[in-house]
Amino acid sequence: MANLSQLKFAMATAVFLSVFIFGLFIFGIVFVLNLGMTMGLLVAFIGSALFILLQFAIGPAIVSMTTKLKYVKSGESPWLEETVKELADKSGLPMPKLAIVPNNTPNAFTFGRTTSSATLAVHEGLLKQLNQDEIRGVIAHELGHIKHKDYVIMTILSALPLIAYMIAQVTLRAGIFSNVGRRNKNDNGGAILLAIGAVSFLVYIITFLIVMRLSRLREHFADAFAAYTTNSPHDLESALAKITYGLSISPKPPEGARAFYIGDPATAKQEIKRIMENKNKYDLDEDGVLDERELQLAMEKEAHDTWSHLNSMFATHPPTFKRILLLKEIEKEMDTGKYTNNEMYNHV
């Protein structure tokens, strides 16, 4: 049984661990390079802080440009505007900016710096491939991210693995070129750079895993929020199934900040690919087609597969079946008539 305080604790823990590990990493670089303790740490701290602030400041603009989204003008999309307004009011949130992305894949995402300046963007593919009830479920899910403010934490946290990765790339390449071109055998500068690069890459992996774990957890909380806000978990269940399948057959490679979307194309492609590779095993009636029941059974078995579990550690999103399973538990509770929105996260 979970509650919103556990998500907040998870976010705080992720921030602390990432900053602590990154801090030790910077301290190690300063110590190895003998830069002078005070000045080295000051430069490292200020540099990292400026990088994070820069990403936080220009992040929304970068998302807008890279996705080519178009903001919806008042009255331009009446049903969508009314639906977002209705669910935002029900959630106790200000009306977010609404945008449509000219992309045929079924997806949606939320970004911004604050609750009052957040943008909720939906793909054209989502509006075409899902029915209105399913779209409501997706919109409620994205409003859940705004309600929880987790997208702000993800924007800040994602900077740390990126910095570590950049340092690893630069130092590893510099170390290799230094070793190749060195004339003095006693010069160990290349070895030091390679060591820093290796440690940088390790820090990147550790901080990346911390960020990905939080990313998966926030999706479960947003799913639960959507289920209770719409009072119809089944709509989001159906939406997630369509989104996963739609993303899996998209010819475009995954791109952008995938953690911010309701569905990750990379995860979707991997899920469906593994199922199709074992299609004969899951085709119980041997008609050559996986119906809805067979597909759900396949997703359930694949979700419990050891290899899939290991892969999910690096995923931005939980396996689709685990998300659907959570929604089904909420649906059963609602069918009893004994539920309350005050305990909406109990099943997470």
Dihedral angle of Cα 37, 43, 46, 52, to the nearest 10 degrees: -110
Q: What pLDDT is recorded for position 308?
A: 59
Contacts of 3 (CB under 8 A, 6+ apart): 343, 345, 346
Mean pLDDT of 189-209: 84
Determine the Cα–Cα distance for residues 317 and 213; give it in Å rounded to an integer: 9
Helix axes 37-67, 159-181, angle to 10 degrees: 110
- For residue range 297-335, list pLDDT tens digits in order: 777 676 666 555 666 778 888 888 889 889 988 998 888
Quick one: three-class SS letters along the chain?
Answer: CCCHHHHHHHHHHHHHHHHHHHHHHHHHHHHHHCCCHHHHHHHHHHHHHHHHHHHHHHHHHHHHHHHCCEECCCCCCHHHHHHHHHHHHHHCCCCCEEEEECCCCCCEEEECCCCCCCEEEEEHHHHHHCCHHHHHHHHHHHHHHHHHCHHHHHHHHCHHHHHHHHHHHHHHHHHHHHHHHCCCCCCCHHHHHHHHHHHHHHHHHHHHHHHHHHHHHHHHHHHHHHHHHHCCHHHHHHHHHHHHHHHHCCCCCCCCCHHHECCCHHHHHHHHHHHHHCHHHHCCCCCCCCCHHHHHHHHHHHHCCHHHHHHHCCCCCCCHHHHHHHHHHHHHHHHHCCCCHHHCCCCC
Q: What pLDDT is recorded for position 185?
A: 55
Q: How long, in residues, is the chain?
A: 348
Dihedral angle of Cα 256, 262, 266, 269, to the nearest 10 degrees: -140
Report which residue type is found at 287: D
Strand partners, 121: 99, 109
Report which residue type is found at 319: P
**Window from 31-45, 134-148, 152-166 with minimum mean pLDDT:** 31-45
Determine the Cα–Cα distance for residues 225 and 243; give it in Å rounded to an integer: 18
Give the whole-number percent of the chain exceeding pLDDT 90. 30
Q: What pLDDT is recorded for position 303?
A: 63
- For residue range 260-283, list pLDDT tens digits in order: 888 888 878 777 777 777 777 777
Mean pLDDT of 60-88: 91
Catalytic residue numbers read 142
Q: What pLDDT is recorded for position 76?
A: 92
Q: Are 35 and 61 in contact (CB under 8 A)?
A: no
**Window from 45-49, 54-58, 109-113 with minimum mean pLDDT:** 45-49
Dihedral angle of Cα 252, 56, 49, 209, to the nearest 10 degrees: -40
Q: What pLDDT is recorded for position 46?
A: 76
Determine the Cα–Cα distance for residues 2 and 58; give it in Å rounded to an integer: 34
Q: Are 44 and 29 in contact (CB under 8 A)?
A: yes
Residue 223 clears pLDDT 70, i.e. is over it: yes
Structure tokens that stand for 212 in this block: 């990905």
Structure tokens that stand for 180 in this block: 């190749």
pLDDT-derived band of residue 134, with 50, 70 and 90 as boundaries? very high
Residue 255 clears pLDDT 70, i.e. is over it: no
Dihedral angle of Cα 66, 72, 78, 79, to the nearest 10 degrees: 20
Q: What pLDDT is recorded for position 265?
A: 81
